[in-house]
Structure 1
Amino acid sequence: MRRAIVRLIAVREARDQLRDRRTMFLILGLPVLMYPLFVGVGIVFVSMLKGKQLVVGVVGAEHLPQPGRPGPHPFPPLFAGDRFVDAYATPDLPDDPEAAAGRLTVTRLDPAPDAALNELLSSREVDVVVVVEPGLAERLERGERPVVRVMGREGEENSKLAVRRVMGVLRKWAAGVKTARFARAGLPADFDTPVDLRDPQSDKPVDKKLADELRDVLVKVIPLLLTMWVLTGAIYPAIDMTAGEKERGTMETLLISPAERTEIVAGKFLAVSALAFGTAVWNVMLMVLAVGVAQVLFPYPLLSMAGLAGCVVAALPVALLLAAGCITLGVFARSTKEGNYYMVPMFFLVLPLAYWSMAPGIELDAQMSWVPVTNALLVQQRLLSVRPDPFPWQHVPAVVVSMSACIGLALWAAVVQFRREAVLFREAEQGRAKFSLFGRRAAKGEG
């Protein structure tokens, strides 16, 4: 293989793509538009979640402990007028952000059978119903265990959100009732906690907890986004360099040149790989800018910037593999429209492997290091995370071998297709059926 010929083809193909405004928009312009859109949608989602009005219907509110009861250690009231007591309605920082969403509006309901209450829920007059057992305050005074029921709509998101929100309020109120009962018995508030369990998260400040949660999300999402952008940066140039050249009639000119088929494949492969990898680099630059803006709000590190640079390097084998696969599929197509159809298997193959890396508990180990694409994303996740344990370098050779084998196999398939005249000149076939990835097509005139 002559490197000068390969370099000449690669430079020529890359130059043609850089002159194509549509390709440049997909590689450079679309990410610039998408990231602010993602941020804007996230802000709108959070604001809508916080501003959502959740109507809580309460049956039997008069049976709850009332404020102003004389005597020592009274049971705490749940309501202050027509709203929950602020101490209970103000959510703590939960593991589930939706459990703190929505503003609760309380409405008093008359006692009614469950069927009538379910009818109110079905008609969306209320989102959740709290049913207080009659004589609850008196039963608490006697040391009994009364019941408070919560009812919601089945399979409806607003009602589920309201149920989670109200259950958080009721749990905090029940903890206050328990504290009062212990105080009446002359017991300390932590009497029912015989062992003091120290949660490593409990001593962290709120900003640190938020930064940790955001970092865990970014560590998994950034490699997935990079892979999707790399796939986008590889698909359209690969289609244009294969099916597009057939459609324009320039493939024949290239094939009658002194370049060998292997050199042609290598040149196109390098050009597509460079564009796909350039897409990854450009997206990482945008991510650095976005993380830098978010870092201003947190005094704790969200990501390892050195790891982010290493993440770019780890994206290179993914770009090489996707470039080789796209060229192999693109050469089957007779037109760019058909080439777009042929790229569907790339998504079916890449997306499950990429999502696999985001599964809980999945890490780079002796088994996962042999799974192509997934192993590269796990390397990126490990590079991005801020962790005290050492990087698992012992698994990197398996990642390199696995990805190299897949890249070599895809390139071999591309070379085989470029050597088949029936594939390269399918439009010239007359009088017999033509081969297609989706089956055999009848020739024109066959009936």
Structure 2
Amino acid sequence: MPSERLRPALVWQIAARDLLSTIRDRRTLNATILMPMILIPLFTLGLPLMLGSFIGGQQQERQKLGVVGELPPALRAALTKDETLADGTLVRAGVILEPVPDARAAVQSGTVDAAVQPATPIPTQAGHAQGTLEVYAKLNNMRAQAGAYSKVQDVVNAYNRTLTLDRLKTMGLDAGVLTPVTLKSVDASPPQEQRSGQLAFLVPMLMLQFILSGAMATAVDATAGEKERGTLESLLVAPVRRGEVVAGKLLATTITALTSACFSVLGFILSGLLVGVFTRGRSGASAEITQAMGGQLTLGVGGALALLGVALSAALLISALLITVGIYARSFKEAQTYIAPLSLAIVLPAVMLQFSDFLTLNTGLYALPLFGGMLTLLEIVRGSVTLSHVGVAILANLVGTTLLGLLARRSFNREEIIFRN
């Protein structure tokens, strides 16, 4: 009985054959190399920049505030006053007060961004009757929330504090009596987690997405594409074992998947450098939000090796899954139809990683193929990973790869699957 051991030379020849087919397609190369370098900085830097510019822009823009009735002169002056830094930089622009007959109608028609109406007289001194100021705004509108509505809230809070402090002075007291206990927030997160930012969950999500997109083109072309072109039969009649065919195609698919993963890591590093360049020496809402959300990917040698190991095991698992699906499909188009829902099954759990802080993490979650790897990647980015979690996640992915590889090998041995068109 001939030996069933795989012959590395033949496995590599099959892999090289499929890789050559992939390299010839420039669109695949663009999706594997250029897209991670472009899209990742756009997501991790462009989104915080856009959000920061939006919020900061609304604070520096003058909105129209409708007024029904009379407001105390001090409150009117505070609403229209500009807030600037010592160097003259505008932090928050005052609003433009416009008398309106109906506050609700003025907001609904878009005449003003928000409107205020005293339900009871607004006091000019603390300690007298309490007044109520109604604020009309479209509360589900982010522009209104970040602009006129936010300014009214800030100004009224400052007005209340001013009246209270004036009242305390007449009583011989200082502002300290209002806050006998003060809070001081201290971020206890590891330094790496602080640098990773609030969008750290995007790292495993985008990395898995680019692994999937990088593996997809090679896997489908090497299975369903070859069946459709009729070139798979010539390979199977050659003096190679079916296991070597599966191993070669798995190797080629994994290489393209890992190539995409490597460029996605470079994209995150580039994004972190751009965040540092943008926020250096800048202040204001835009810079603060960009720094808090964008974050930077900083890894030591151990973290880089752990990330590489988890990414490699995830690439093997995804590649084995795509090859299994591709060899079952009759055509390239049918394979794409099968893979579309599979891609959602991979991406959706990655999106849910933003809520991972609410999960009770135990070994069982890390033993879930692929999802355990996503959790581990997130911990690596945040600098809180443990060696046991890395080992369990990699082992789970390798077990899944082995099972899918055996299923793919079985499919290659069944003529009704190989030769059906």
- The TM-score bracket by the shorter chain reads 0.7 to 0.9
User: Which of 101, 117, 125 matches 1:131?
Assistant: 117
Residues 36, 260 of structure 2: 8 Å contact kept: no
Q: What residue ranges of structure 2 are gaps of 5+ in the alignment?
A: 282-290
Alignment correspondent of 1:350: 346
SS of equivalent to 1:197: coil
User: Which of 175, 185, 194 matches 2:171?
Assistant: 185
Alignment correspondent of 2:7: 3
Alpha carbons of structure 1 residues 30 and 166: separation in structure 2 relative to 1, 3 Å = same
User: Which of 323, 330, 336 matches 2:326?
Assistant: 330
In the alignment, is residue 83 of structure 1 matched against residue 56 of structure 2? Answer: no
Q: Output the CA distance in 1 between the equivalents of 2:142 and 2:66.
A: 20
User: Which of 316, 336, 361 matches 1:340?
Assistant: 336
Question: What residue identity is the alignment partner of 2:208?
Answer: T
Q: What residue ranges of structure 1 are gaps of 5+ in the alignment?
A: 67-76, 89-99, 203-208, 428-447
User: Which of 210, 213, 238 matches 2:219?
Assistant: 238
Q: Output the CA distance in 2 between the equivalents of 1:352 and 1:85.
A: 45
In the alignment, is residue 284 of structure 1 matched against residue 265 of structure 2? Answer: yes
Identity %: 26
Alpha carbons of structure 1 residues 336 and 151: separation in structure 2 relative to 1, 3 Å = same
Shift of 1:56: 4.2
Q: Pick the structure with more helix per residue.
A: 2
Q: Output the CA distance in 2 between the equivalents of 1:101 and 1:62.
A: 27
Question: What residue identity is the alignment partner of 2:373?
Answer: A
TM-score, normalised on structure 2? 0.82
Deviation per residue, 1:415-435 (Å, 9 max, x gap): 2222222221112xxxxxxxx
In the alignment, is residue 176 of structure 1 matched against residue 173 of structure 2? Answer: no
User: Which of 104, 128, 144 matches 1:143?
Assistant: 128
Q: Output the CA distance in 2 between the equivalents of 1:155 and 1:226.
A: 33
User: Which of 30, 37, 49 matches 2:35?
Assistant: 30
- Greater displacement, 220-229 / 177-186: 177-186
Question: What residue identity is the alignment partner of 2:397?
Answer: M
SS of equivalent to 1:129: strand
Deviation per residue, 1:98-141 (Å, 9 max, x gap): xx99855322324x4xxx32211111111221223453235x35
Alignment correspondent of 1:63: 71
Q: Output the CA distance in 2 between the equivalents of 1:61 and 1:304.
A: 56
Alignment correspondent of 2:284: none
TM-score, normalised on structure 1? 0.77
Alignment correspondent of 1:159: 144
Residues 366, 395 of structure 1: 8 Å contact kept: yes
Shift of 1:45: 5.0
Alignment correspondent of 2:393: 399
Alpha carbons of structure 1 residues 360 and 36: separation in structure 2 relative to 1, 3 Å = closer
Q: Output the CA distance in 1 between the equivalents of 2:92 and 2:407.
A: 55
Residues 303, 386 of structure 1: 8 Å contact kept: no
Residues 193, 381 of structure 2: 8 Å contact kept: no
SS of equivalent to 1:359: helix
Q: Output the CA distance in 2 between the equivalents of 1:141 and 1:25.
A: 66
User: Which of 285, 288, 305 matches 2:299?
Assistant: 305
In the alignment, is residue 417 of structure 1 matched against residue 407 of structure 2? Answer: no
Residues 117, 129 of structure 1: 8 Å contact kept: yes
Question: What residue identity is the alignment partner of 2:367?
Answer: W
Q: Output the CA distance in 2 between the equivalents of 1:378 and 1:186.
A: 57
- Greater displacement, 288-297 / 55-64: 55-64
Aligned-residue CA RMSD in angstroms? 3.2
Residues 65, 96 of structure 2: 8 Å contact kept: yes
Deviation per residue, 1:156-179 (Å, 9 max, x gap): 333333334432333233233332
Residues 239, 336 of structure 1: 8 Å contact kept: yes
Q: Output the CA distance in 1 between the equivalents of 2:143 and 2:276.
A: 33
Alpha carbons of structure 1 residues 23 and 214: separation in structure 2 relative to 1, 3 Å = same
Deviation per residue, 1:194-245 (Å, 9 max, x gap): 323332159xxxxxx9x97762234221121111111110111111101110
Q: Output the CA distance in 2 between the equivalents of 1:87 and 1:360.
A: 40
Q: Output the CA distance in 2 between the equivalents of 1:312 and 1:397.
A: 12
In the alignment, is residue 375 of structure 1 matched against residue 379 of structure 2? Answer: no
